[in-house]
């Protein structure tokens, strides 16, 4: 796997008008605040959006964005496998906002915790629950071990099953007034 081109927030802001910005976070995270003008195409739907993204990439370079840069780098690699070139924003929207650049939030949108924070909370809660329940019923300690094994697997493979599950929860879904995925694809095509 090749390392995608990465732009710092200051580099990206200078060339911002040149890019089609794609935010690969969940719709809930996107609604909580995103780089101005970014289109929301969640990471797990990049394959489905490949045609529209390929068309968009013929007009302007693609800049993929997430919360920290990890998912957007993964998205760049995924698109490269489909023959679509894309760059990533180093540090994601977190670094973008920390550098003093504007962040858009739809009217009435509620802020959703970033996915990595949701995973840490869920994993930690399950480990503590397994540990405490193990005092009353010793086999419950296996829950803590299973979560630990899942975290090791996640680290080795750079995938996260827990994040995929959490992304399906209602608070990670788009707000009612959000642009639909199909509308986003039409705008990119």
Q: What is the DSSP letter of 17?
A: G
Q: What is the pLDDT of residues 91-122, one digit of tens each?
A: 999 999 999 999 998 776 667 788 889 999 99
3 Cβ contact list (under 8 Å, min separation 6): 73
Residue scoring higher pLDDT (19 or 31) = 19
For the chain, domain boundaries: 6-111+176-188, 115-166
36 SS3 class: coil
**Confidence at residue 113, expressed as pLDDT on a 0 to 100 scale:** 84
The predicted model scores a pTM of: 0.78
Residue 92, Cβ density class (10 Å: 0-12 exposed, 13-18 middle, ≥19 buried): buried
Of all residues in the chain, what percent are helix, strand and coil, respectively (each to 5)? 55, 10, 35
Q: What is the pLDDT of residues 26-72, one digit of tens each?
A: 888 898 899 999 999 999 899 999 999 999 999 999 999 999 999 99
The HSE-up count of residue 25 (CA atoms within 13 Å, CB side) is: 30
- Is 6-111+176-188 CATH 3.40.250.10? yes
158 Cβ contact list (under 8 Å, min separation 6): 74
């Amino acid at each position: 796997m090749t390392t995608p081109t990465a732009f710092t927030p200051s580099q990206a802001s200078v060339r911002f008008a040149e890019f089609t910005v794609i935010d690969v976070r969940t719709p809930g995270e996107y609604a909580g605040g995103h780089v101005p003008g970014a289109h929301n195409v969640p990471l797990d739907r990049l394959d489905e959006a490949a045609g529209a993204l390929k068309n968009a990439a013929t007009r302007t370079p693609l800049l993929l964005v997430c919360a920290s840069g990890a998912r957007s780098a993964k998205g760049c690699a995924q698109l490269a496998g489909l023959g679509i070139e894309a760059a990533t924003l180093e540090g994601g929207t977190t670094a973008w906002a920390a550098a003093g650049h504007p962040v858009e939030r739809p009217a009435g949108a509620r802020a959703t915790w970033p996915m990595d924070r949701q995973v840490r909370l869920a994993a930690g809660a399950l480990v503590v629950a397994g540990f405490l329940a193990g005092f009353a019923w010793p086999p419950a300690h296996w829950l803590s071990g299973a979560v630990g094994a899942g975290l090791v697997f996640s680290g080795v493979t750079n995938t996260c099953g827990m994040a995929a599950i959490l992304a399906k929860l209602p608070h990670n879904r788009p707000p009612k007034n959000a642009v639909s995925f199909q509308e986003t694809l039409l705008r990119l095509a």
